[in-house]
Amino acid sequence: MYKVTVNNMEIGEFESAELLWQALSEYNAAEGINFELNLPTDDDVTEWGYAPDSSIKALLAWSKSKGYIEDYEMEAE
């Protein structure tokens, strides 16, 4: 289980990259959370759908390398 912070916003605690991917995909302002992935083009949106989900660290590192997030922290719980 990892406590994950993305772009200085605590996202939550996750045990799998798949659950983190889902949370990052679904966060929006309507939930009172000011977080949005940087997916400016349709190609980016498509690529996000195929993000690596082998581990939380792999997903976060890949997302940062693609520019979809600015930074992240993960802490083992």
pLDDT class of 34 with cuts at 50, 70, 90: low
Local confidence band at 16 (pLDDT 50, 70, 90 cut-offs): very high
Q: What is the pLDDT of residue 61?
A: 98
Number of domains in the chain: 1
- pLDDT at residue number 26: 82
Contact 66/41 with Cβ under 8 angstroms? no
Is the model's pLDDT at 2 over the cut of 90?
yes
Q: E-strand spans in the chain?
A: 2-6, 9-14, 72-76
Global model pTM greater than 0.75: yes
Determine the pLDDT at residue 31.
60
Give the closest residue to 72 by CA, choosing from 1, 25, 18, 20.
20
**Residue pair 21/53 in contact by the 8 Å Cβ criterion:** yes
Q: Give the domain range for residue 48.
A: 2-76
Inform me whether the pLDDT recorded for 12 exceeds 70.
yes
